[in-house]
Structure formats: structure tokens, C-alpha cells
Amino acid sequence: CAVHSRVQYSTVYNPSEKTFDKILIANRGEIACRVMKTCKKMGIQTVAVHSEVDSSAVHVKMADEAVCVGPAPTNKSYLNMDAIMDAIRATGAQAVHPGYGFLSENKEFAKRLAAEGVTFIGPDTQAIQAMGDKIESKLIAKAAKVNTIPGFDGVVKTAEEAVKIAQDIGYPVMIKASAGGGGKGMRIAWNDEETREGFRFSSQEAASSFGDDRLLIEKYIDNPRHIEIQVLADKHGNALWLNERECSIQRRNQKVVEEAPSTFLDPVTRQAMGEQAVQLARAVQYSSAGTVEFLVDSKKNFYFLEMNTRLQVEHPITECITGLDLVEQMIRVAKGYQLQHKQQDIPINGWAIETRVYAEDPYKSFGLPSIGWLSQYQEPLNLSNVRVDSGIQEGSDISIYYDPMISKLVTYGATRGEALARMEEALDNYVIRGVTHNIPLLREIITHPRFISGDINTNFLPEVYPEGFKGHQLEEDKRRELVASAVALHITAQLRSQKVLGNLRVSSTPVECNHWELCVELGERRHVADVTKSGNIYTVEVDGNKVEISGEWNLASPLLPLRINGKHRMLQCLSRDISGKIVLQYLGTSFKLRVLSKLAAELNSYMPEKVAEDTSSILRSPMPGTVVAVSVKPGDTVKSVHCKPGETVGEGDLLIELE
């Protein structure tokens, strides 16, 4: 893809340095595509595995060979070790790159590969086991003189034992799955009752997500930053730290926005964290790329959180500021080569920011999954210093079976300000139709004064949006800009409709008309717009204030580049119809408007309003998914139950009717 070289990362392929002829990628989506890109640069053939529903996925098309490993559910396909082992034998793959998630931190999978003489592109099983168990990893970290969070160094067996331990540590406490990750099986408890409840929910979630219901309890550090160190080690005792990544913007313990470097760390703290991360890697004889996660308090005290023995989702921002291709480094290390660099060779060049673009509704708990078919999809790769790691394309289906990530959007700049400005532009130029997405939230985060100033912590979202995310709140001048844009678009469409193949046709509107009086409905308010047109320029007077708008007005394009009062703005027209209804994406958020003639507006006031559904006695599904359990039955102060365990439901489906 045509991306600026510094953003793309540098794969330094040496033809005389033999690695592998064929690698199987035991993953799907964007990370499978990402690994394949490096393999192709290194002259390595690739094998994709896929479920039945992923048979035409991008990663399948990108690979040299592809093998179906089972039906859609992950436990029957991407977690199906037997089927994946069969695929390895059938294709003759010499090595496996597991990506992240799925089997990437599964010691049994690594053992099975080793037994068949197939190289696992990652650390050895002993390191995976030691760091994959949060209890064992904490003990190892303590022994390696790594700062750790105060807590109970053992498995908590019952809810009452959890309460006693929590009282000893002091509230608040974090209850979490020993085998966990990705925010699964985690609960914060502020009192005894929340500890009992947290123990029950965390053990259930841990068992279903990881097949391991063991829990541990530790002190919860309030309002921390989440900063992680990328490490890289070989099988010859060499280990490096590749600077930090700031990952504090999270929802439900899952990262949303990341950047490298962090605005918060000074060189002394950075070095101390880096050195402790390397101490831990050496303690478990780690070899490959890995990440040591820390919580950092307001006084720059840092505490070990966990080590991820795999490639992180957010690895691209480290690649941007160091120029290293981490996948290439993993492949070299797995083959037994020594690292090519020394610690003093590792730079911090510029600034990189990553936003995770998800098929999610950001207005529901900062992001509940959305599903659908990508009817239109256009990545902003026309911009320089932009990198998009994705595994989907126009026509792809976002299903309930897998993570709803659309892509990782990465921007780079010589300074943080440059990287942020480019991110804002990239988000405005990103076309996604057919699924609900979280671009409104991402754009609001990166333009928020607190984020711009670097005043962030893991509670950023609930602190900034205590009532939940509501989209961009329009200031009066921006409201006028939006109204004027809708009016200009509406008139442009009307004027075009008067022509057939460029020739005028009979129209009720005089052709030479260049002045209009219109009404625009936006939210609960109605605005009067007085419009004049001169050439390509519209002058719109909204509530007594003039707004001047010009643009190319290509009505077939999803992007609408305009100049509004001399300033460049990128809008997107999501929909419009002959009744004057227009949906515009402006400053990241979608706004519904209606443009009417004065007469139509007057007559519209007589139209009956649609009565909203009374939801006080019903419960609808907030998102698509599978019903795990139904804890009520007809008669339990419920009138009727419309679902059963194991059933698939869509967003808005009726679940329960109350008495």
C-alpha cells in the first residue's frame, strides 16, 4: 500500500539470511494480514487457516495457501488445535506465527508444535506458562526485583476468602482471572458485597473465556496510567526494550487509543521501566517480542501488571518510532539468529498514535458490538503518514463470531501535534458504511483538551463523559456551519435533478434561480436559512449570521470536501432523500437534518408525531450476541421470556416482557 515509509516500518530483508520457506499464520483478520505482509517481503510462503464463514476473507486471499479448520465458532475453528495441526502437516509449514489472541499464549499449542518439529514464532512454553499465569508471573517479577502491586500471592478459592483478603489489602481491590487478558474476568470491588459479586462473575467469565476459573486479588490503583514496555529478546541472552506505549484510554479494560512515546514519562522513568522489563524477560529466559505492562500512578511510581508473551495489537506505533519491523524480528529470533541491534541503537523518532476502529455503537457503554455488511469502505491512505492495519474490505461481513475490530488507524508526525492533526484528518476521511462504528468517539477523544494536554488516565472516558458518550456537542458557530452545509448540498442536488445528461428538463423551479429561503430542522431546533449562489459559492445566512461555503459538490462521492468560511472541512453525506432528509457526518459525529421550503415547513407542523415505544415493561437486547443464561421464567414477575440459552439474538430483539 502507498504509505509513507517511516509509518510502514522497515523490513530489512537479507537474502543470505535463511529463515523459513513456509509459515502458517494461526489467526485471522488484520493481524494475519499484517504477518503475511512481512513474510512476503522476506520471501516466505504463507498458509492461512480459516473458518467456514471466513472462506473469502482478506487474509485467505492474501495467503499462498489456505486451509479450512472448521465452522464459525472459535472453539471449533481458530482454537481447534487438532485441525490446525492437520493443516500444518498437509501444507508442510515449517513454522507457525500465532498473531495475538486465540492460541498465541497457549502453552499446549506450543508444546504440540515442538513435538512435531515445527517452530513456534514466539517464546518457549516455559515462558508462556510462567507469564500466562498472573499469580506465578507476579512471584517471578518480585524475585526479579520488578515493582509489583500489593496483593495476595495465591489462588482465591471462595467468595468469603476473597472478602477476607480484600479487607486485609484494603479497598478498592481488583479481582481478576489468573489466566486472563483482554479485560475478561476482571472486576473492581469497593466493599464486601461487591467482592462477593465480583468473585462470582469473574470466575464465571474466566471459566468461559479461558477454561480456567482461578482468581487472584490485588490492590486497585485508582486513576492510574497504563503504560507498557515493548521488549525484544533472542535465544543468546540478548534483550532490548523498545521504549513505551501509552495505553491509558480504555473502556471495560480494553484499549481504545494508544500512542508512543508517552507524554508522561521522563528519560529516567522510561529507562527504569525499560530495565525492569528486560530483567523480567531475562528471568524467564524470554526470546521473541513481548510486552511488559505497568500501571503508573500520578507520582510516576510504576507497578508490574502482566507480561503478554506475544505480539501486541498496538505494536505498529512502536514500529513507527523505532523503524523496526517486529514481525521480522520475531521470525529471525525464532530461527535462532541474534538481535541486530544494541540498546543504544533504539531511537524515539517522532510520535505515533493509534486509534482502534471498531464496528461498535459508541453511544452504548462507549462501544457495544455492531454487526453488518460493509456496503462501502474506503481507508484514508491518500494521506501521507497514515498506516491502516486491516483485514477487511468493501463487501466484508462483520459477524457475531469474532472481535468487531475494523482496523487499527495509525498516524505519524515529527511531533505529537502533527500526529494528532493527521489523525483528525484521517478519521474525517475514513469511509465506513453498513455497520455502526466508533469514529465519533475516537475523534472526540483525540480533539478533547484533556487528551491534547496529556492529562489522561484509565478512567478518562467515564470522567469526561459521566453520563455516557453523546457525540459532538455543537457550539453555535459549528451548528451554523452544519446547517449551511446541508442547505448547500440540498440545493446542489435539486439543481442537478433539473438536468438530464447535462441538458435542462422541465422543472417547477426557475432555472435561473440563485436565491432561496429555506427552513432547516436539526435536533429540537428549526433554523431559517437565506441562501444566495454565485458560481460555486453559496452564501447562507443562518439566524442572522453569514456562512460562506464552496466545494466541488460531487454528489456521487461519499466524501464532501468543503471550504467553510475559508477553512477546509471534510464532511460525509451518509444519506439524503427527496423529502429533504439529510444525514451528514461532521466533526466525526452523524447529524440528522431536514431541509424544507418555507411552505413545506409550515405544513409539516400539522403532521402527527410518531409516538416512541414504551419500554418500561420490556427488555430488549442492547447488542447482537448469544444468550448465555436465562435466570428467570414465566411467573417470576415476568410475563413472558422470548429467548433461551444458546440462542442468537440481534440488537433490539425482545428478550423479556415484564408483568
Q: Which amino acid is at 651?
A: E
- Residue 78's alpha-carbon distances to 28, 351, 530, in angstroms, are 8, 35, 59
Q: Note the pLDDT tens digit of each residue in 208-257.
A: 666 777 788 988 887 899 999 999 999 999 999 999 999 999 998 899 99
Q: What is the pLDDT of residue 612?
A: 78
Q: What is the pLDDT of residue 499?
A: 73
Q: 413 and 350 in contact (C-beta within 8 Å)?
A: yes
The packing angle between helices 326-335 and 29-41, to 10°, is 70
Q: Note the pLDDT tens digit of each residue in 323-357.
A: 999 999 999 999 999 999 999 999 999 999 999 99
Task: Count CB atoms within 10 A of the CB of residue 29.
Answer: 24
Q: Which amino acid is at 457?
A: N
What are the phi and psi torsion angles at 280 (to 5°)? -65, -45
Q: What is the pLDDT of residue 5?
A: 42
Residues designated as active site: 310
- Report which of 70, 114, 343, 155 is spatially closest to residue 231, judged by C-alpha positions: 343
Q: Which amino acid is at 148?
A: T
CA distance linking residue 72 with residue 297, whole number of Å: 42
Contacts of 38 (CB under 8 A, 6+ apart): 11, 325, 327, 328, 331
Q: What is the pLDDT of residue 182?
A: 60
Q: What is the pLDDT of residue 646?
A: 84
Does residue 509 have a pLDDT over 60?
no
CA distance linking residue 290 with residue 267, whole number of Å: 21
Q: Note the pLDDT tens digit of each residue in 145-168.
A: 999 988 887 788 899 999 999 999
Considering the entire predicted model, what is its pTM?
0.86
Q: Annotate 38-67 with DSSP letters as a single string.
A: HHHHTT-EEEEEE-GGGTT-HHHHHSSEEE
Q: What is the pLDDT of residue 4?
A: 39
- Report which of 311, 301, 479, 313 is spatially closest to residue 389, judged by C-alpha positions: 313
Average pLDDT estimate for 50-74: 97
Q: Which amino acid is at 299?
A: K
Q: What is the pLDDT of residue 500?
A: 64
3-class DSSP assignment, residue 533 = strand
